Structure 1
Amino acid sequence: MSYREFTWSKAKQDFSLKTIEGDRFFPVLPEVQPSSLLQEMLQRNIPWAIAVGNEKARSEAIINPILLEVQQVLERKISVFSGEEFNVDPKAGLNGICDFLISQSPEQIVVEAPVLVVVEAKKDDLKRGMGQCLAEMVAAQRFNRANEQAIPTIYGSVTTGTAWRFLKLEDSIVTVDLTDYPVPPVEQVLSILVWIANNTR
């Protein structure tokens, strides 16, 4: 078994999680302005990624540039991993490839604790990716604890690149922000991701 096999119900049941569904759980945030490079890349890449229509295109053309922009804004004090094998507890099904991981460590060769955010890419239906994302968040929580770098909150996002849905995991409580944040404009998603990285430091 691996992350991809988890549905929302299975992840909740296997890891004894309780769910809160609600509105935005982020505070009012100062707007983070994208660089001219990111603006140009998204303007060029988004129509192509939508036309191609698969997860790989959306990951490469939209999601990865946004996450690397966050790393740049934070002066490379975080690391961003794409398509990384993240085998934490295979017996529990917490193994496989994560689309994206963000760690508080600047180390880029291997994933080091604490992992702050997992991002799951989907070509269309966000709901279908939520179980997988939740399992990856539990894995990040366990990975941090095992490495004595536990942090209070793990964040996750399921995204098509042009729509972002956020989740947070605190102990055994998972909260879902039922707002889907659009890109473009990219400012709001950038602000959220930068806030997450700064808020858990």
Structure 2
Amino acid sequence: MKILQADANYTFRSYFELSNDTDEILAEFDYKLVKKRLQLPRTSRQLSGLSELKQNLENVLPYVPLTSETARREILVAPVLSKVAMICQQILRIEYPVKVSNLLQGNLDYLIRSIHSLIVVEAKRDDLTRGFTQLAVEAIALSMLDDAPDRLYGAVTIGNLWIFGILDVTSRTIFQDIGSYTLPDDLEDLISILVGILE
């Protein structure tokens, strides 16, 4: 049964609002969903300044209620991705517009691209399951761009909890990690992975 109307307009946000399961929505784009423990790249570099960043997060968290998506993005997501952008010396794009078709269009919360890899991050206030659906559709859109790599990495986050996904163009599969990373506790691990993907 078709979910999407071919002549309708959908933004990436629309997929967050659909009540269908992730695998059903991805099937509309001829992709399948596989949930498993992902072996994510990690940098072997010594990363400096992470203990200060962790301390800053721990210092600010008691004083900022994380009740909105904006609060989560500004307090938890942006500092982490800004750090990754500085370490990798890559541009961090925020609210980055993408339009592939009427079914695949909208703004990406965060995008960092290196020569051979990219990471898209979708920040949500709460629902990680639907957030992952939106992230997966964003990755499908990016995979259709001319210079897209064969594997695209993404993460959906509610700020303090991050879940990774990988889109593999060849097998038309999106892999969702069954594990997750938390902030501030897993900060070093999280940044090591994000840097490892971009290296």
1:41 paired residue among 43, 56, 74 = 56
1:127 paired residue among 126, 129, 135 = 129
Distance 1:11 1:34, change over 3 A: farther
Alignment of 1:1-201 (within 5 A): 1-6=10-15, 7=18, 8-26=22-40, 30=44, 32-35=47-50, 37-49=52-64, 51-74=65-88, 76=89, 78-87=90-99, 89-91=100-102, 93-104=103-114, 116-143=118-145, 146=146, 149-171=147-169, 172-185=172-185, 186-198=187-199
**AA in 2 matched with 1:165:** I
- Does the CA contact (< 8 Å) of 1:163 and 1:182 recur in 2? yes
**CA RMSD across the alignment:** 2.1
Q: Distance in 2 between matches of 1:9 and 1:21?
A: 10
Distance 1:72 1:29, change over 3 A: closer
Q: Which runs of 5+ in 1 are unaligned?
A: 106-113
Q: Which structure has the larger Rg?
A: 2
TM-score by length of 1: 0.81
2:3 corresponding residue in structure 1: none
SS at match of 2:78: helix
SS at match of 1:43: helix
Q: Distance in 2 between matches of 1:28 and 1:136?
A: 23
1:24 positional shift: 2.9
Q: Distance in 1 between matches of 2:52 and 2:24?
A: 41
**AA in 1 matched with 2:97:** E
1:43 positional shift: 2.1
- Does the CA contact (< 8 Å) of 1:101 and 1:115 recur in 2? no
TM-score by length of 2: 0.82
SS at match of 2:144: helix
1:10 positional shift: 4.7
**AA in 2 matched with 1:90:** S
Q: How many correspondences in the alignment?
A: 181
